[in-house]
């Protein structure tokens, strides 16, 4: 079998000899890629310089055009201004008219920065623009023009281009020179900008090749170096043609252009380093990529050479491995990727009972018993598909039908290409071992599940084995207890006086039981029941002892706490300033403190004889009895109530009672402990406060004079009526009345009589309106009645009835008095403001029509007009 595997391995190795041609092709491809990279970088270099030259010429054309246009505008302005000055020489003497002329002329050309007029002596006569505060001395080129009589001239003034024109007086004498400077920012705004136009230097050269003006300039030394390099490649004196000329230099790219309007040339330059910065970066990246590609190629060549060496070594190792596998006592099998057995060693055949021919080509499932869980196979294949080894157990059935438990390790085997070629399985029979482990595990779990501390001691009282609770109480690891003597945990004195004599007796076959307080590192001082039982061996002698400890601390503490708690409760309750009682489920008092007896003026015996219900007010007996019964039947944890109790002298006192359920001492016994508080004063204060709140609320909504609803209350009811109408459609009407000639009553009889009239009128309104109506005082002698669920006709009848009643009443002092009424009903879309406006208008018409009458709101009809829909009131 090993020879067959080695032969397959050799054929695969020889098949990979064709890898030489693949590597040769890869090297050729690498050389082609290097050549293409170099050619591409060269083409990119040329394109970069060409694009930079085109952008340089474009910028120079924009610069020259901007200066030409600026000079043309300046010439027009100077021409027009000089003609105006020569035609009107008196302007030179009048500053008030001279400067406006210059300002108007300057505004014709936005590219001008300033306009200055110098007289024949070189003094500033007037200036506008940026040089309005110009120096008294004109620039040198202007002085030369004045001296030599040059009609037009140009030059640079304060780093700005300027042009001048001579102005002559009517008699032909020289009057002065008009100088215009160009706006540099205006020229810059005409230049190209954006990526590729940065780092460009622009300048102007005069006819002697001197620098006149520089934009984006470097130092003066840099300008001289730039011009010197340009002179090497082309004669500046020879260039006089129009158009743009590109001159490549060693360190710069140049572009020249002759201006059309002035004997000036424009020059643009940019450093080659700035142009080629991007190309240099791309070339560096490309070179780095090429270097990485070469390194990768060399790396793979080295890996290929190492692979050949490893394959030769693997062939030798495989032969040695076959011999070792055949001799190993564990069962080993090798399967292909379809799980068919390719190889099985002698131990596998011996354990399964099958021959080599029987298992070859078969799947390992021929040994399956059907009792291995499906999850095991799922986990197995999941691990193998991830390329990981799997370790687990199978329940197999061998040839004679017996079931055996086998622990297997299955791992994928990779070929030299890193692919899984087969699976390798090695297994061991662990059937007997698992049986012992199960039995031992059950014993250990039973011992560890116990609440008692268990220890197995030898004849010298050393710990042989302890359970988990024993470790927990002593707060030690197992290795720090097992193998160590007992007195290390409990101390020499405690062990020798308390435990050792009884353990010595147990070694002689006498078991013991005792209770004592012991000190534990993990739990502190605990009260324990201690037992010791001897273990007798096969020869009849005592081999070891079982040492058990049962923690009885909680029970001991509970007994002590219960006794202490009861004594404390009795002591506290007797001195407590509240009534305390204890009762059973039937309501019979078991205990009542002294304060409760004094508060109720009855002893515990009298309370039990009379019963709780006997001292309650008759109206409170049934509710209290029901709540107590409900608490008992529903087994509620708490109960509380407030009730009136009758004292011995018959006086009534308010008490608040509360009780809580708890389990009694006997099994199933239920007790209730509670408190009783005298809250008579609290109840009286609470009732007084409620009465005062009701009175305050009434006063806040009632008119103090008439005891009717005040205006605030009426407005609130009116707003509520509108909201009800909007939501439910429940309409209502409003009556507004006013006492006729009431002012005369106050003026003639006094306000006291007026107040008496208002009170009597309010009584009449209360007596003659319905219970659902709300009469209120609106203000002064005006009153308002809100009539819920009433239409306009019903409100009219009510108002008419009220008018008749008032008319027949004789008021004190003033006799009979009448009232005027206005009536309105709510309509769709109404708010309080619209409704009050209509009822007020109706009242106004009642007074205007003679008083002592009821007038309803005017009915309106909807008419159509060409312009839309409008409301037109009909005649009354």
Confidence at 804, pLDDT banded by 50, 70, 90: very high
Computed over every residue of the chain, the mean pLDDT equals: 80
CA distances (Å), origin 277, targets 263, 396, 401, 804: 36, 76, 85, 110
CATH architecture for the domain at 450-551 = 2-Layer Sandwich (3.30)
- 612 or 269: whose pLDDT is higher? 269
The CATH H-level (homologous superfamily) assignment of domain 708-863 is Reverse transcriptase/Diguanylate cyclase domain (3.30.70.270)
Question: Which residue did the predictor score with more confidence, 80 or 301?
Answer: 80
Is 827 in a helix, a strand, or coil?
Answer: coil
Closest CA to 573 of 601, 604, 611: 604
pLDDT digits (tens, 9 = 90+) for 27-74: 788 788 888 888 988 888 888 888 888 887 787 788 778 878 888 888
The per-residue pLDDT for 850 is: 92
Is there a shared CATH topology between the 328-435 domain and the 708-863 domain? Answer: no
* CB atoms closer than 10 angstroms to residue 62: 18
What pLDDT score does 266 carry? Answer: 79
Q: Record the tokens describing residue 665, joined without a space.
A: 């001492």
Burial class (CB in 10 A: 0-12, 13-18, 19+), 181: buried
**Residue 588 and residue 607 in contact, taking contact as beta carbons nearer than 8 Å:** no
Yes or no: say if 269 and 204 are a contact pair by the CB < 8 Å rule: no
Average pLDDT over residues 606-630: 79
- Cβ(421)–Cβ(413) under 8 Å? yes
Check whether 384 has a pLDDT greater than 90: no
CB of 853 within 8 A of CB of 821? yes
Strand partners, 455: 466, 547
Three-state secondary structure string covering 204-262: EECCCCCEEEEECCCCHHHHHHHHHHHHHHCCHHHCCCCCEEEEECCCEEEEEEECCCC
Contacts of 432-440 with CB under 8 Å at 24 or more apart are 434/405
Rounded Cα–Cα distance for residues 585 and 609 (Å): 17
Q: What is the pLDDT of residues 201-241, one digit of tens each?
A: 777 776 666 666 666 655 666 666 777 767 666 555 555 54
> 92 with 174: CB under 8 angstroms?
no
- Which CATH fold topology does 328-435 show? Beta-Lactamase (3.30.450)
Looking at the domain 561-687, which fold is it?
Answer: Beta-Lactamase (3.30.450)
Report which of 427, 374, 435 is spatially closest to residue 398, judged by C-alpha positions: 427
Q: Structure tokens of 715?
A: 């407005």
Q: How far apart are CA 794 and CA 796, in angstroms?
A: 5
CA-CA distance, 59 to 70, in Å (whole number)? 16
Of the pLDDT bands very low, low, confident and very high (cuts 50, 70, 90), residue 614 is confident
Contact 420, 412 (CB under 8 A): yes
Domain ranges for the chain: 2-33+299-310, 34-298, 328-435, 450-551, 561-687, 708-863
* Contacts with 606 (C-beta within 8 Å, 6 or more apart), sequence order: none
Identify the CATH number of the domain defined by range 34-298: 3.30.450.20
Q: How much is the pLDDT for 96? A: 67
146-197 pLDDT per residue, tens:
888 888 888 776 667 888 888 888 777 888 888 888 877 777 777 777 766 7
pLDDT at 853: 95
pTM of the entire structure? 0.36
Helical segments of 773-861, H only: 792-808, 832-848
The per-residue pLDDT for range 465-491, each reduced to its tens digit, is: 898 888 888 888 988 888 888 878 876
**Residue percentage of the chain with pLDDT more than 70:** 85
Question: Where is average pLDDT lowest: 17-21, 446-450, 676-680?
Answer: 17-21
Residue 180, exposed/middle/buried by CB under 10 A (0-12, 13-18, 19+)? Answer: buried
Q: Check residue 427 and report its DSSP letter.
A: E
């Amino acid at each position: 079998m090993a020879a067959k595997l080695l032969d397959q391995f050799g054929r695969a190795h020889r098949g990979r000899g064709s890898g030489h041609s693949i590597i040769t092709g890869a090297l050729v491809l690498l050389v082609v890629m290097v050549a293409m990279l170099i050619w591409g970088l060269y083409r990119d270099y040329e394109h970069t310089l060409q694009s930079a030259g085109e952008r340089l010429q474009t910028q120079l054309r924009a610069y020259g055009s901007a200066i030409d246009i600026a000079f043309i505008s300046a010439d027009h302005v100077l021409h027009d201004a000089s003609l105006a000055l020569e035609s009107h020489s008196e302007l030179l003497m009048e500053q008030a008219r001279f400067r406006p002329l210059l300002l108007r002329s300057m505004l014709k050309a936005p590219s001008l920065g300033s306009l200055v007029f110098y007289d024949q002596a070189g003094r500033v006569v007037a200036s506008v623009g940026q040089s309005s505060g110009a120096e008294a001395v004109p620039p040198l080129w202007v002085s030369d023009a004045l001296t030599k009589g040059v009609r037009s001239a140009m030059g640079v003034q304060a780093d700005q281009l300027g042009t001048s024109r001579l102005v002559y007086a009517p008699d032909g004498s020289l009057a002065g020179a008009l100088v215009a400077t160009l706006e540099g920012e205006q020229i810059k705004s005409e230049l190209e900008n954006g990526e590729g136009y940065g780092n460009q230097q622009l300048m102007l050269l005069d006819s002697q090749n001197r620098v006149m003006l520089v934009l984006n300039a470097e130092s003066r030394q840099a300008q001289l170096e730039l011009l010197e390099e340009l002179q090497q490649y082309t004669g500046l004196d020879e260039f006089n043609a129009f158009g743009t000329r590109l001159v490549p230099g060693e360190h710069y790219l140049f572009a020249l252009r002759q201006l059309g309007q002035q004997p000036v040339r424009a020059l643009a330059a940019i450093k080659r380093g700035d142009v080629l910065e991007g190309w240099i970066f791309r070339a560096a990246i490309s070179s780095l990529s090429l270097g990485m590609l070469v390194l990768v190629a060399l790396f793979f060549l080295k890996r290929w050479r190492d692979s050949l060496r490893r394959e030769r070594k693997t062939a030798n190792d495989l032969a040695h491995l076959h011999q070792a596998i055949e001799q190993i006592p564990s069962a080993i099998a090798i399967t292909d990727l379809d799980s068919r057995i390719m190889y099985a060693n002698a131990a596998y055949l011996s354990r399964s009972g099958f021959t080599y021919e029987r298992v070859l080509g078969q799947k390992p499932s021929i040994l399956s018993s059907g009792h291995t869980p499906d999850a095991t196979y799922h986990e197995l294949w999941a691990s193998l598909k991830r390329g990981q080894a799997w370790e687990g157990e199978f329940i197999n059935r061998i040839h004679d039908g017996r079931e055996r438990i086998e622990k297997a390790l299955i791992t994928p085997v990779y070929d030299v290409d890193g692919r899984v070629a087969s699976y390798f399985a090695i297994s061991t029979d662990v059937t007997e071992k698992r049986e012992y482990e199960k039995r031992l595990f059950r014993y250990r779990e039973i011992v560890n599940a116990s609440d008692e501390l268990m220890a197995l001691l030898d004849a010298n009282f050393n710990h042989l084995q302890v359970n988990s609770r024993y470790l927990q109480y002593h707060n030690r690891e197992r290795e720090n207890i097992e193998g160590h003597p007992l007195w290390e945990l409990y101390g020499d004195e405690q062990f020798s006086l308390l435990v050792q004599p009884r353990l010595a007796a147990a070694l002689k076959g006498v078991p013991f039981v005792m209770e004592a307080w012991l000190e534990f590192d993990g739990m502190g001082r605990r009260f324990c029941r201690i037992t010791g039982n001897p273990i007798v061996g096969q020869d009849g002698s005592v081999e070891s002892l079982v040492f058990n400890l049962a923690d009885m601390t909680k029970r001991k503490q509970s007994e002590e706490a219960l006794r202490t708690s009861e004594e404390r409760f009795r002591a506290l309750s007797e001195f407590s300033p509240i009534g305390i009682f204890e009762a059973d489920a039937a309501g019979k008092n078991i205990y009542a403190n002294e304060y409760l007896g004094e508060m109720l003026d009855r002893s515990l015996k009298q309370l039990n004889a009379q019963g709780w219900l006997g001292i309650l007010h008759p109206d409170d007996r049934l509710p209290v009895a029901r709540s107590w019964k409900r608490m008992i039947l529903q087994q509620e944890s708490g109960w509380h109530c407030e009730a009136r109790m009758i004292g011995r002298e018959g006086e009534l006192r308010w008490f608040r009672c509360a009780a809580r359920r708890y389990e009694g001492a006997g099994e199933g016994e239920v007790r209730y402990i509670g408190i009783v508080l005298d809250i008579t004063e609290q109840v009286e204060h609470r009732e007084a406060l409620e009465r005062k709140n009701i009175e305050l609320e009434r006063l806040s909504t009632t008119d103090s004079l008439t005891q009717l609803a005040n205006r605030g209350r009426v407005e609130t009811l009116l707003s509520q009526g509108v909201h009800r109408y909007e939501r439910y459609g429940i309409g209502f009407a409003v009556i507004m009345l006013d006492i006729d000639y009431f002012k005369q009553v106050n003026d003639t009889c006094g306000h006291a009589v007026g107040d008496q009239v208002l009170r009597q009128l309010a009584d009449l309104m209360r007596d003659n309106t319905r219970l659902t109506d709300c009469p209120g005082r609106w203000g002064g002698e005006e009153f308002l009645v809100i009539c819920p669920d009433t239409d306009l006709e019903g409100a009219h009848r009510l108002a008419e009835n009220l008018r008749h009643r008032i008319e027949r009443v004789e008021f004190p002092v003033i006799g009979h008095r009448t009232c005027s009424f206005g009536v309105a009903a709510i309509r769709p879309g109404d708010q309080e403001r619209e409704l009050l406006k209509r009822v007020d208008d109706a009242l106004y018409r009642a007074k205007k029509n003679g008083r002592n009458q009821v007038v309803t709101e005017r009915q309106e009809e909807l008419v159509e007009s060409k312009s839309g829909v409008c409301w037109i009131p009909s005649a009354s």
